[in-house]
Chains A and B, each alone.
Chain A
Amino acid sequence: MTELRDVLLRGGRLLDPSCQLDGVGDLLIRDGKVEVFGGTIGVPDGAEVIDCAGQVVSPGFIDVHCHLREPGREDVETILTGARAAAAGGFTAVCAMPNTDPVTDNQAAVGFVLKQGRAAGAARVYPIGAISIGQQGERLAEFGEMVHAGAVAVSDDGKPVVSAQLMRTALEYARTFGIPVADHCEEPTLAAGGAMHEGFVSARLGLKGIPAEAEEIMAIRDILLARLTGGHVHLCHMSTKGSVELIRWGKERGISVTAEACPHHLSLTDAMVENYNTNAKMNPPLRTAADVEAVQQAVKDGTIDVIATDHAPHHNDDKQREFSDAPNGIIGLETALAVNVTWLVKSKIISLATLIERMSCAPARLFNLPGGSLRRGSAADITVFDPDQAWTVDPAAFLTKGRNTPYGGRILHGRVGCTLVGGQIVHNRMG
């Protein structure tokens, strides 16, 4: 095994809310770990020096919710391309949802994802196992074996757990292993056939809508089940004003509920669906301006703990269909930072420190993952980025295989310069 080269990140703004760090200085990485930070550090022999002047040096971003499509749809994404895209977006770790084909619902499948992730040599890839076998919503998958093999959470994401009894059991059983149950909140009969948010735009376009209540009914059901069981429910991709009010209600009562929101739900409204733009089709759908504002405020006050991408690559042929037949989802790994900086930080809704807390520290804490901190001795999973750099989104230049983004052609602020995982540079745009 080759010895890791020391890396000195010189003169960046070291920003880490996990240890109240915010100041210009150097950071030295040795043996894949943070050795020392702050002030001016002399260059050790043989160390690689990266000039970080004007850049923010933060704990690496961690995405607790992405879809890497392998196994099953390697034409759309592989763990390799997904991990590279993650690194390019400043993510040092990603959690891969289990709705692959076959479903990641057993220890062998979990092992496969880990193996492919390690082979990719980019961002760390953590598997999330399915709640139910085949995500059929009938029988619990073997949580214990999957956790033993390396799964960090369970989820039937892509589908709601329709049976309240099964969800109850999942929350109870997950407590044994100390893992969160990541919850796709969607009341299926209300959402059936829906292609976008139910409102004036859907009425005008003649598209069947999904009411906000389809999400909220499941959110409150599962918050109540978390209260009943003491289990940790993590509510995925929250998109409505009502949902954040319900999460707030749960948290105020000490219920073990955490939640995530996605960059697209923090920046875009259902007006994006005008002209039947399938790159604005996702589930949960883009909501109203009032919902966007409420979710932004929830990110600000911590009701929403985490910003996750819900990166969902699709083949262009699949998206180039009639709107109601096109699949849900957009890519997000390579635009997440810039969307968040542009809509949340530049508009002064949250500080950069809060953004790093939501994209790095909190995900590490809630999913019990390494990273999320620049403390001495912690794994050197680090993102270097320029929060002010403007760039034009060019989907053709992405490392993900997906091109399905509603941000194509937009000028955004915030660009990742360099990503390090375990002290190794896995992405470098800084020359």
Chain B
Amino acid sequence: MSTPLGKDLLGLEHLSAEQITLILDTAEPLREISERAIKKVPTLRGATVVNLFFEASTRTRISFEFAEKRLSADTVNVATAASSVTKGETLVDTAKNLEAMKIDMVVIRHASSGAAQFLAERIESNVINAGDGMHEHPTQGLLDLLTLRRRFGSLKGRRVCIVGDVLHSRVARSNIWGLTKLGAEVAVCGPRSLLPPAIGEFGVQVFDRVEQAIEWADALNVLRLQLERMTAGYIPSLREYNRVFGISRERLDRAPREIVIMHPGPINRGVELDSEVADGPHSVILDQVTNGVAVRMAVLYLLAGNAPALAEAAKGGDR
């Protein structure tokens, strides 16, 4: 079935600004469903969604599951430890088996970049990338965009700096594509050992010092420092990272304007972000979580072939 988004949502790089805006516009009315006493509409009744998580995830998986359940889809969760992958089954075989079970959609999280596309090319069902290796995490990018759009009204001309481990971050890539398509200026800031060598070719500014980023930005998207990376020697110590790149209250106090603080979670408190900042008035971290469910509902809704214009009506139940 042809939808305004195509068959799958694999990343933001290949979506147009119009498609991204459509998802955000669709998410707005669906967001209200989560505010109700009975948080459920029958929009996806009869549809089967498989959440295929080959990599540990808590918040993304739960967020997708809430989105699916609130739209009344039947969901099945498959986690690596419980799957045939531990018996040596390949992703191709997994895909063929899923297809044979006549499912409608797959949400896939995988440690290998390109795994979502790999699956999408082999099955008829809609595939939603819930994070593939170091490549993209499009629904995280979309929820970040929705959060900023709700805060600023428009992203055009707004300055957003992504701080931290950009090299290994799928969130950073989705953010860069999404933000630039919607007209924001984007910068990155972090130790050079945690930035891709070709980062300049993404059309973003690079700040070596976090003070410069704070001076420049309207919003900071602070990435989780993946502690497991530290054993690979990308930075000398967490302590030094916090001293040089950590977002503290003192640093923010010197900003020329109010800065919105974002974080995809989970936060390493006291490493990339101090608790006073994470819990402070500029933080929109919990809004991001709320918006995540709405964005994922919108993606499921649109990929299932529902008319974008009817998203408002979808709130009401059967059409």
Contact = CB atoms under 8 A, between A and B. Distances in A.
Interface of A: 198-200, 202-209, 211, 275-276, 317, 320-325
**Central interface residue in A206, A208, A211, by most chain B CB within 10 Å:** A206
A206 B135 contact: yes
B226 to A, nearest CB: 14
Contact of B114 (A208, A276, A317, A320): A276
User: How big is chain B's contact interface, by range?
Assistant: 20 to 34
A205 B198 CA distance: 12
Interface in B129-185: 132-136, 170, 173
B112 interface: yes
Contacts of A202: 196, 198
Interface of B: 13, 90-92, 110, 112-115, 117-118, 132-136, 170, 173, 196-199, 201-202
A206 B134 contact: yes
B197 A198 contact: yes
A321 B134 CA distance: 17
Contact of A203 (B92, B118, B197): B197
Nearest to B201: A200
Given A199-B198, A200-B198, A324-B133, A207 B90 contact: no
B113 A324 contact: yes
A323 B118 CA distance: 9
Contacts of A208: 134
**Central interface residue in B114, B118, B132, B134, by most chain A CB within 10 Å:** B114
A206 B199 contact: no
B90 A317 contact: yes
Given A200-B198, A203-B197, 19 more contacts: A198-B198, A199-B198, A202-B198, A203-B198, A205-B135, A206-B114, A206-B132, A206-B133, A206-B173, A276-B114, A276-B117, A320-B92, A321-B92, A322-B112, A322-B114, A322-B115, A322-B118, A323-B112, A324-B113
**Central interface residue in A202, A205, A211, by most chain B CB within 10 Å:** A205
A324 to B, nearest CB: 5
A206 B198 CA distance: 12
A3 B110 CA distance: 63
Nearest to B176: A204
7 contacts: A204-B173, A206-B173, A207-B114, A208-B134, A275-B117, A321-B92, A323-B114
A277 to B, nearest CB: 10
A316 B300 CA distance: 33
B136 A276 contact: no
A206 B197 contact: no
A322 B110 contact: yes
Nearest to A203: B196
Nearest to A318: B90
Contact of B113 (A198, A199, A323): A323
A321 B90 contact: yes
Given A198-B197, A276-B113, A276-B118, A206 B136 contact: yes
Contacts of A317: 90, 92
B85 to A, nearest CB: 11
A325 B112 CA distance: 8
Contacts, number: 66
B180 to A, nearest CB: 13
B112 A324 contact: yes
The 6 residue pairs across chains A and B that have the minimum distance between CB atoms: A206-B135, A276-B114, A206-B134, A322-B112, A203-B196, A206-B113
A424 to B, nearest CB: 43
Contacts of A207: 113-114, 133-135
Contacts of A205: 113-114, 135
**Central interface residue in B91, B110, B170, by most chain A CB within 10 Å:** B91
Contacts of A199: 197-198
Nearest to A323: B114
Contacts of B115: 322
Nearest to B136: A206
A39 B68 CA distance: 81
A122 to B, nearest CB: 33
Contacts of A323: 112-114, 118
A198 B118 CA distance: 21
A317 B89 CA distance: 11
Contacts of A204: 13, 173, 202
Nearest to A317: B90
A211 B197 CA distance: 10
Contacts of A325: 112
B202 A203 contact: yes
A112 to B, nearest CB: 31
B129 to A, nearest CB: 11
Nearest to A273: B114
B110 to A, nearest CB: 7
A324 B114 CA distance: 9
Contacts of B173: 204, 206
A324 B117 CA distance: 13
Nearest to B119: A322
Contacts of A209: 197
A209 B118 CA distance: 20
A173 B290 CA distance: 69
A206 B90 contact: no
Contact of B90 (A198, A276, A320): A320
A323 B197 CA distance: 21
A320 B170 CA distance: 23
Contacts of B136: 206
B211 to A, nearest CB: 26
Contacts of B110: 322
A187 B96 CA distance: 39
